[in-house]
Amino acid sequence: MMQKPTPVDEEYIFDGRAIVSETDLNGIITFANRKFCEISGYTVQELVGEPHNIIRHPDMPKAAFAQMWQTILSGTLWHGLVKNLRKDGRYYWVDTEVTPTYDQDGKVKGYMAARKPASRKNIEETAALYQKMIEQER
């Protein structure tokens, strides 16, 4: 299991194509596209086989992920903003959609996340909300 980097208070700004990853039912990464590797700072070899929360920033409230899991476990698409942690410790915000993926028999086999740069307005609103949520978790 990889060690998480120490967060640095510096944002990594990016644009362009979607960041895509897939996980198994336990949130272990099974696929990471080139853009995910580029933005996160990790190689595909470093990411595959690791829990997706390796890139979770400590500023993310536990309740946000509890809601995400509750939504995707019910078979529904989850949409929200996520603050992620790069390998170099910088952070980046993504507008994220997570959806279940299915095998040929129609059983859920894992989850796919598609992410794009988040808007500044949404980041500001969400960061304030997440800060309140974290304070309630303490």
Confidence of residue 1 (pLDDT cuts 50, 70, 90): confident
Helices of type H across 26-119: 34-40, 44-47, 62-73
Model-wide pTM > 0.75: yes
Q: Which pLDDT belongs to residue 98?
A: 98
Mean pLDDT of 72-77: 95
Q: Is the pLDDT reported for residue 17 higher than 90?
A: no
Burial bucket for residue 84 (CB in 10 Å: 0-12, 13-18, 19+)? buried
Angle, CA of 35, 6 and 34, to the nearest 5°: 10
| Percentage of the chain lying above the pLDDT 70 cut | 100
Q: Is the pLDDT reported for residue 138 higher than 80?
A: yes
